[in-house]
Structures are given as structure tokens and as C-alpha cells.
A and B are shown apart, each in its own frame.
Chain A
């Protein structure tokens, strides 16, 4: 190992390691690592790969359940959807790259999450995105929205996987750190799931896909560091995605799996060849020898360090069944992919890399994987805010104007400008997507009458107000959205986005949010099967609002028995399920109309949540309603307007009873649904039996949306307000 320099402590610090971590490496190895070895440690011990700050707390999540085939720890989670079929899904962030280069950052985020899913043996069938941007008035926001949206569309559309849903928020807290969380869902056969653990020694290791170049070196460590004003100027080489290569990779991978040649497989994501090879060998308890001269390279003269840390896209690493190398090569050739056997598994428990005829790295695997540092970082309990009483707020002078302002506010305005850039229908199984007016996307399991329902949710202003309640709410809202389309919720993936965990108050948010999410997952039988943690989302010491996004998946046994909120018919009665007390703290009304971000968030009652959700599914299943909308941002008034707009049918809300008009219209009490039905008595009877509060709140008909004595607005005017904000903003009008 003569020609590789030993960078010492200074080099370690430069690559993002702490002095005590470097001391630990030296102690584990009993010598100083050389530059290549240090590169491996720096990425494997990064927050992104090691989860060193969060792992201890993530153990609180329930990860088992009767439908769970594979929980966290693999490339993606796997749940059983009956008939020998499985649904494979995961969400992952690409926050930092998307801020630096929004188009490619978002595009490669989509590519990366798809690889996680087809690596498990599943064909990707749907994509969703949870996006958070800064204040619309911030000069960078417009360019970031434009770049991210076209990047998502550009990649997903070219690969031919529909983008069916998602969510978008704007808040100044994301000015310096946008969030781009992409979720992919795929379908597989339960007896054809593929894993990453190397099954034994002396097996060939094959690299296939695109060539390795010098892209995105140290992406994983970048994802684990705070931004400062300089990092925009530093502009590291970002990865560029090639969706057509990804399509070839999907087909080749699935064909290779079907051929029986695959013993284990892993995609090359963050930290590329390093994390894929180390994780496969580490999980399998074997060793690994790789000859880097055989790695397909895009550029001449790449060093071992660059090859191991490159984040070039659209690459896979597989361990083959011995003797099947030629069959595999035939498949790669047919799909036009670069491929090479670059090494083999060994019995040594070490990773040995050779390059240019010399050994450039010889490390025991354990310190890179299970012996990586694990921190119990100090955390302080979040400071909670007092509950706001709606009676202390004076009502707006003009209810109609207030409603128009809210429905046109950045967080509620129509997302049409965004989703119209996405192919939502390719593969021809999208039954409900962003444009159809449903709380969750519904995608048919091809060739069956079954469908999966998909949603992603988080309300960051609740999490900021109370991380525990906010964490619960994110899970509960995902669960509610699935119930609202009639699906049985199965499991979730999560994407935990927070600031710097070395600050006790940020760590406190993380701990409390995870505890709240775990509590909700347990109460709702909604286990966590995969996830991703993105920390250090800070710029100049300013952290993002805590944003633990939940991606929920549910199952519809009969896709024909589903609900949406665009199915309102004139003459139908409107029924509100769930208790309304007029919770106004941390509400959208408070922020958008009064400019206040205070108060405790609406509390989540998990028992009531469960009862209401089960009841809604029962009502949909019994054919008593096909038009359901959950109540969330903006409360009853906004749910009613959205239902009327999507259905192109007006409605009238009755005067409030027992609550203030403000709480009635804009309160954000949890666990509630608005539904339309013909037979109110039948709904009332079932609600009474289920112990769920049920009130008739209005009637459908006409071309106006009215609330007795409060407002009366034509549908056209509401639609104009709802539809015009985003296109006007994107075309350069003032925020």
C-alpha cells in the first residue's frame, strides 16, 4: 500500500469526521488509515449511511405486523397484499443536491428511490413526492420550484412510471434548505423478493449499469453537513441522471432476477460502490475482494478513492450464483449495459481493494458497519405552547374574503401547475391521481381488481408546535387519507427531515417526533417498514421546521368500491364525522389570515381516529357513500370548497351549533371526515354503533358555496382564486 498517502487527522476532519471518530478508527485498525480507507470510513460513518444519531431512537418504531414481509434494514420495505403478491416501497430524501442543482438533484432523487424498489425484485408502479420550499417571496424559491418539478417530471416521465401524488408546502423556514422527498411503490411476487446480504464466500460480484465517473463524490457526507453561504459557491460536481439508462437497468435487473442468476443484489446509491459492497458483505458476514481496474469507467485516470466514492447514477452490484456469469452477461449485453465481474466474496470478513496491481485498501468490515459509532446525543424536551381558545379570537369582518384568501394561499392553492408536468397515467393503472380529487392516489394492481392506495403527509407547523403531537398527526393523517378512499391501511415508510442533531433542542424534536409517530403506528396497526433520515438541514445555524414525512400504503380489495371527493351529487346530504371543538392553534387560518404561528396543535385522539377511519371504510364498503374528504388544513370550510370544486357541484353548510363560527369553519380538529350520502339515517345509525360523532352539516346543490349567514360565493370565483395563485407566481407575478 505504498503509493496511497496517509492523510492523518487533518484529512479526516476535511472529510467530515470528528477528531474522536478518527481516534476510534486508529484504535480499531491499530494504525492510521490511508486515503482510500479514510474515504470508506468517512462515508460509512456519515449520518446518512450510519444513522448514528437516530438509530437508537428509531428502534421505538413498530416494524412487525401480519402483513409485513420485510421491515427496515433492506433497500425497501415489503408488505403482503394477498394472492402471492407484495407491495414494495420506500421514501428517500434528496434535499441537499436539489438545493444546489434543483433539476438534477430532484431527478436523481427519483432515480435513486426507484432503484431501491426494483433492487428488491419489484416493478415500480408509482411515484409520489413530498416537497417543501421556502417563502414564495424569497428570490430563490421560484427557480427551485421550477427546477425540482421539471426534474421530477423529466426523470419519472422518461422512465415510464407515473407520478400519482404528493404534497407541497411553502414556508420561510425552508428558504435555505428545501426538502425533496421521493417515494416509490412497486409490485413483486412474495416468493421472488431479493435481498442484499451476501449468502456466502467465493461468489462472483458483478457490477452492471452505467459507467463510473467523477460525479457527486462525497454526496453522502454532503447530505450530513450543514450548509453555509459558501456552499452555493463551492458547487461540488453533482450527479446527472439518465432516465433511459434507468429504464434499461429496471428491465435488465428484473430479467436477471427471473433467470435465477442473482444470489444477492444492492443498488449503488449514496456512497456508491463503497456502501453497496460494504453493506452486502457486512450483512452476509463474509469478506470481499474487488479489483477496481475492472470497474467500467467513464473517464481515464480515476483514482481508487474516486471510484469508491463516486455517486454516478444507474448502477447496480449483484452477487451471482456461481457459474451463471455468462448468462448474466448475455442479459446485460442485450440491454446495452456495461457490466463486469469485479471481484468475489471471501471468508476473511475484510474488504480488500486492488487497483493498478497493488492493494489500496484492506479493512475489517465490522468497524465500517455494525461497529460504526452510535450516539445517544443529549436532547432537551421541546417547549410546548399553550392551547389557544378560539373564543379569544375576534371573527373576520368578511368571511367570504377570508375563505378566498385561504383557498388561494400557497399551501392550499391548486397544485395543477405542478402535477400537469407529470405523466400520471403511463402504465394505465392510475385510478385516482393528483387531478381526480381523492385523498390518496389509487393504483390498480395490474390485471386484478385490487388496487393500492398511496399518500404522503406531514404538517410541519404542528410538528414545530409540538413534535410529539405533530409526529402522531403525520401518521394519523396518512392513515385517514387511506381510509378516505376506502383502503385498508397496511404500513408506512418515513422520511425524517430535521436540523443539526448535535443541538439538544433539535435532537429533542427528533426524539419526541419519533415517539409520537411510534405511538400512532402502534395504535393504528400501521407498522414502519422502511425509511430515511435526513439531518443537518440547516443554513447558517437556522434549522428547517421539523418535518417527519409519512408515506402510507393501503389496499383496496375491490378497486371499484372506492371513494374520492369529486363525486358530490346535487341533493345529497353532507355529514361530518368526528368531534369538533374548534381547535385553532397552529392552524392555517391563524398563519395565513392573522400572521400568527402560535398555539398548541390540535390534539390527536388515536382511539377516535381509529373508530372514525374504520367507520368510513365500512360506509364506503356498504355503498352508503362514495364521496369522502378528510378534514385537514383549513378545516371544514376548505374541505367543503375542495369537494364542491372537484365535483363541480355547489353546496350549503348549515349554521354552526354549539361552536363558534370561526372554530366551525376553520378549526383543524383531527380525526374528522366530510362525506356526502343519500341516506343520512343509515349513516347516522352506523356512526352511533361505532361511537363516532355524526352531524348533518349541509346539502349539495346549486353553483355556489354557502354557509348560512356567513358567506355565499359562486363556484367560479372560488375556482379562479384556487387555480390562479401558482401559475401566476411561477410566471413571475409577485408572491
Chain B
């Protein structure tokens, strides 16, 4: 039986980078009458299994994936969680 862990990667635009999607969602929420909403930021959650039993090793590997594919490190920051 193969052993694996669950990786959760949260990717958000870096602070200071204009979040066009967040801005659009915020305006739409205001339009719908949710007046109290502010500072909307839209990111994404990527969820997958990684083989192995060493969480530290898996985390390092997933971070490498983020740098090379899952996130755009020029404008995005990411958080990796191994469960």
C-alpha cells in the first residue's frame, strides 16, 4: 500500500499587487447590497496527494512546485500545508 500525505497550497497575490478579481468581487458585493464588505482578495487553493511519510521533505518538494508552476512568484505569494 502506498503511503501519502495531503498537500494544501494557498496562493494569493502579494500585498501591494492590484487584485483585479478581488476588486470586481467587492464591487459586485456592494452592488448586491453587502455594504460592509471591504479588502476583498481572491486567491486559489490547490489540493493534492504527495507520496511519502516525511512532512518536512514533502513540504520542501511542494514549495519547489510552487516556485516552478503552482504560483507566479513575481506577483504571488503562497502557503503550503501538509496534513
Contacts and interface: CB of A to CB of B under 8 A. Distances in A.
Nearest to A210: B18
Q: Give the most central of B18, B19, B74: most A CB within 10 Å.
A: B18
Contact of A213 (B18, B73, B75): B18
Contacts of B23: 242
B17 interface: yes
A100 B16 CA distance: 17
B24 interface: yes
Interface in A86-104: 100-101, 104
A159 B19 CA distance: 18
Interface string B1-41: 00000000000011111111001100100000000000000
A313 B18 contact: yes
Contacts of B19: 240
Interface of B: 13-20, 23-24, 27, 72-75
Contacts of B14: 237
Contacts of A299: 15-16
Contact of B24 (A101, A239, A244): A244
B75 A104 contact: yes
B24 A215 contact: no
A294 interface: no
Contacts of A458: none
Contact of A101 (B16, B18, B27, B72): B72
Given A242-B23, A244-B24, A312 B18 contact: yes
Contact of A298 (B18, B72, B74): B18
A101 B75 contact: yes
Closest 6 CB pairs of A and B: A214-B16, A240-B18, A101-B74, A242-B20, A235-B74, A240-B17
A492 interface: no
B68 to A, nearest CB: 11
Contacts of B15: 299
Interface of A: 100-101, 104, 210, 213-215, 235, 237-242, 244-245, 298-299, 312-313, 336
A239 B74 CA distance: 11
A298 B32 CA distance: 22
Contacts of A245: 20
A312 B18 CA distance: 8
Contacts of B75: 101, 104, 237-238, 240
7 contacts: A101-B72, A214-B16, A215-B18, A237-B75, A238-B74, A244-B24, A313-B18
Contacts of B18: 210, 213, 215, 239-242, 298, 312-313
Contact of A215 (B16, B27, B72, B73): B16
The interface centre, meaning the residue of B15, B16, B19 with most chain A CB atoms within 10 A of its CB, is: B16
Nearest to B15: A299
A210 B18 CA distance: 10
Contacts of A298: 18
A237 B19 CA distance: 13
Contacts of A215: 16-18
B24 A237 contact: no
A311 to B, nearest CB: 11
B25 to A, nearest CB: 13
Contacts of A214: 16
B74 A240 contact: no
B17 A235 contact: no
Contacts of B16: 213-215, 237, 299
Nearest to A239: B18
Contacts of A312: 18
A100 B74 contact: yes
Nearest to B72: A101
Given A235-B73, A336-B27, 4 more contacts: A101-B75, A237-B16, A244-B20, A299-B15
B69 to A, nearest CB: 11
A242 to B, nearest CB: 5
A214 B16 CA distance: 5
A473 to B, nearest CB: 37
A381 B19 CA distance: 49
A318 B17 CA distance: 25
Nearest to B13: A240
A299 B75 CA distance: 16
B20 A240 contact: yes
Nearest to A158: B20
Most buried by A among B14, B19, B20: B20
A299 B72 CA distance: 22
A214 B73 CA distance: 17
A104 B15 CA distance: 16
Contacts of B24: 244
A213 B22 CA distance: 14
A237 B17 contact: yes
Contacts of A238: 17, 74-75
B56 to A, nearest CB: 24
A239 B18 CA distance: 8
A91 to B, nearest CB: 25
A341 to B, nearest CB: 23
A479 B78 CA distance: 51
A245 B16 CA distance: 17
A505 B24 CA distance: 50
A239 B13 CA distance: 12
A392 to B, nearest CB: 49
A245 B20 CA distance: 9
B20 to A, nearest CB: 5
A386 B18 CA distance: 53
Contacts of B27: 336
A254 B52 CA distance: 61
A215 B20 CA distance: 13
A237 B17 CA distance: 7
A219 B21 CA distance: 24
A345 to B, nearest CB: 30
A629 B17 CA distance: 46
A242 B19 CA distance: 9
B71 to A, nearest CB: 12
Nearest to A298: B18
A214 B20 CA distance: 15
Contacts of A336: 27
